[in-house]
A and B are shown apart, each in its own frame.
Chain A
Amino acid sequence: MRFRFNLALKNIKARAGRSSLLIIICAILAASVFGGSVFIRSIQNGLHSYEKRLGADIIVIPEEVKEEGSFDGILLQGIPDTFYMDRSVLEKVKETEGVEIASYQFFLASANAGCCDSPVQIIGFDPETDFSIQPWIREAYEGEITDGDLIVGSNIVIPPNRQLRFYNVTLNVAAKLEKTGTGLDNAVFGNIETIKSLIRSADSLGFEDFKDVDPDSVISAVMVRNEKGYDVYKTAGNINIPIEGVNAVTSQKMIYGIAQGLKNVSGIIGIITGLVWVLSIIILIALFSLIAGERVRELAILRITGASKKIITGALLWEAFLIALIGSVSGIAAISIVYFPFADTIKRSLELPVLQPGAGFMILTGFITIILSIIICGVTWSLCVLRIAARDTGLLSKEGV
């Protein structure tokens, strides 16, 4: 066993150019499988997380906000925005047929100015009626969210004094949420009273968006839970038709758009990965066939000096194993170095929620990728070289000379 391993190692080292080429092809194979799998899983996770975080069956927002796409911008890309509609919308929605619970929220953007620590989306919810944000917050924070408390998204950096300042109001950071892969990772959450204090302060500081805005008479959105058994699209229609200036969007419709995007991206990645595999396997077979002539001579020398077919087969399989192992590990490392630092850029350019899978998935995918590369490399190698190893020694040595 040791001799076979050493012989394989010697062969790899002695034929550095040939071995490097094979290692690079195995690395490309592994990188495409690992990178493709992780990326597809990331957007699947992102979609799942997005669906979970929406938390409402219907979202009612001002009509112009839907048209401008700024609500999608907040949820998907974390682009902060401020918008309002009259508070009377909440009462009208509550009375609509098919609505089980309706809870309002505030969406305001912090300013990119000295009064604010960082430009983020600030979301206010009503602790009495909220059913979409609090269950999520409870996963990270069990305590009561009092006036002046903030719960922050995973991308928000918490200062050592655990305080953030918006519109010159200093707020305490109570907890940080788990990563969702959505724009909500760039948001901070507080109760309605906290948000109202920010609006008043912003107005006093002279910010145009808040000029003469009475926080008691406006809201940004209404989150609706649909009555069980009632058609959700019918409920949305019940809201859209009589209430002017609003747009009730079902979460299914919002997710459908993302899911379509996800399907397209996954499809493209799948096709690219498939093509890379087909091409790499063709190249591997071509390369192995090309070097088969060279191997005839090597194998003939080994047979002449007393190596059995078992020793030669063992050494060749070790060689294929080592090449595939080195190649696949390098491929996984290379794609990780390229992909992970740019994951956020990719996410922004795709406008899709991207949530990286956990370490368990990464390790398992990496392991499967390595096994798959070893199998592919071993099989193509066997096809081209092992049949030579099995041939009659005398004929081999005659061809080898």
Chain B
Amino acid sequence: MSLITAEKISKEFTRKGKSKKRFEVLKETSFEINKGTVTEIIGRSGGGKSTFVSILSGLLQPDTGKVYYEGKDLYELSDDERSKLRNKKFGIIPQDHMVFKNLSVIENLLLVKEMYGTEDKEEENERLAEELLNKVGLKDYASYKAGELSGGELRRLAIARALINDPEVIFADEPSGDLDEENTKNVLSIFRELTEQGKAVILVTHDREAIQYADYIYRMDLGNLKEEKL
């Protein structure tokens, strides 16, 4: 049974400015993600990859079509249920450096961990956060303000944050964007390790290095998703 299934999803946006012209970002796209796989989505910039990932992760409602997670229609769930699911089951690594720069590195992780009532397990949460920071090479920066980190370090922080709740699915939008070769390899290895634990990883990337870690590759072109042979 697939972990996430998207059925004929489409999405339109209205262009900003005077024209207010509508444009179709996704055209009746269907898709499946299975447990224990790395799926890559490649394609031109502005081709709808990020929008697609936002819809799959419950962040953006499609105009038509359905998205199922373990058989449950994501957009039939209430905002509370969908948000909690996103917190517990999904790990999202956004394209840009979306972290709280005024909080410390470890606080950024604990905030996500404690969102649905685990503040009482403070020590355990901290230990887990430190372990993850160690894994992404940020152990020594735990008490630093996130704003003090470089672009690559912020990217690794976002990766650690996405993994803090031991999610079933990881959505990573250009995760290697700011990373050097060594850190890219490290992060992709982490993703590979996660699939060995039965987790699913969806990577939106332009990185050729990432291809060797993928089980499936899809190309997004003008709102159409096509599988490519490895």
**Which residues of A have CB within 8 Å of B82?**
308
Interface residues of B in 92-142 (CB under 8 A from A): 92, 94-96, 98-100, 102-103, 107, 111-112, 114-117, 119
- Complex CA gap A76/B148 in Å reads 64
A92 within 8 A of B: no
B211 within 8 A of A: no
Contact partner, B83, options A306, A397, A401, Cβ 8 Å: A306
- Complex CA gap A300/B165 in Å reads 19
| Main SS at interface, chain A | helix
Taking a contact as CB atoms under 8 Å apart, the answer to whether B98 and A308 are in contact is no
Interface residues of B in 63-94 (CB under 8 A from A): 79-80, 82-88, 90, 92, 94
The distance from the CB of A304 to the nearest CB of chain B, in whole angstroms, is 5
Taking a contact as CB atoms under 8 Å apart, the answer to whether B54 and A394 are in contact is yes
Chain A 299-333 per-residue mask, 1 if CB under 8 angstroms from chain B, else 0 = 01101111111110000000000000000000000
**Which residues of B have CB within 8 Å of A297?**
98
Taking a contact as CB atoms under 8 Å apart, the answer to whether B87 and A395 are in contact is no
Chain B 160-194 per-residue mask, 1 if CB under 8 angstroms from chain A, else 0 = 01000100000000000000000000000000000
Taking a contact as CB atoms under 8 Å apart, the answer to whether B96 and A401 are in contact is yes
**Which residues of A have CB within 8 Å of B115?**
3, 305-307, 311
Taking a contact as CB atoms under 8 Å apart, the answer to whether B98 and A306 are in contact is no
Contact partner, A14, options B60, B103, B119, Cβ 8 Å: B103
B29 within 8 A of A: no
Taking a contact as CB atoms under 8 Å apart, the answer to whether B80 and A305 are in contact is no
**Most interface-central of A301, A309, A392 (chain B CB within 10 A):** A301
- Complex CA gap A374/B123 in Å reads 35
**Which residues of B have CB within 8 Å of A306?**
83-88, 90, 112, 115-116, 165
- A304-B59, A308-B80, A308-B84 known; A298-B100 Cβ under 8 A: yes
B224 within 8 A of A: no
Interface residues of A in 93-140 (CB under 8 A from B): none
The distance from the CB of A14 to the nearest CB of chain B, in whole angstroms, is 3
**Which residues of A have CB within 8 Å of B58?**
393
Taking a contact as CB atoms under 8 Å apart, the answer to whether A303 and B80 are in contact is no
- Complex CA gap A393/B83 in Å reads 10
Chain A 63-83 per-residue mask, 1 if CB under 8 angstroms from chain B, else 0 = 000000000000000000000
Which B residues lie at the A interface, using CB under 8 A?
50-51, 54-55, 58-61, 79-80, 82-88, 90, 92, 94-96, 98-100, 102-103, 107, 111-112, 114-117, 119, 161, 165
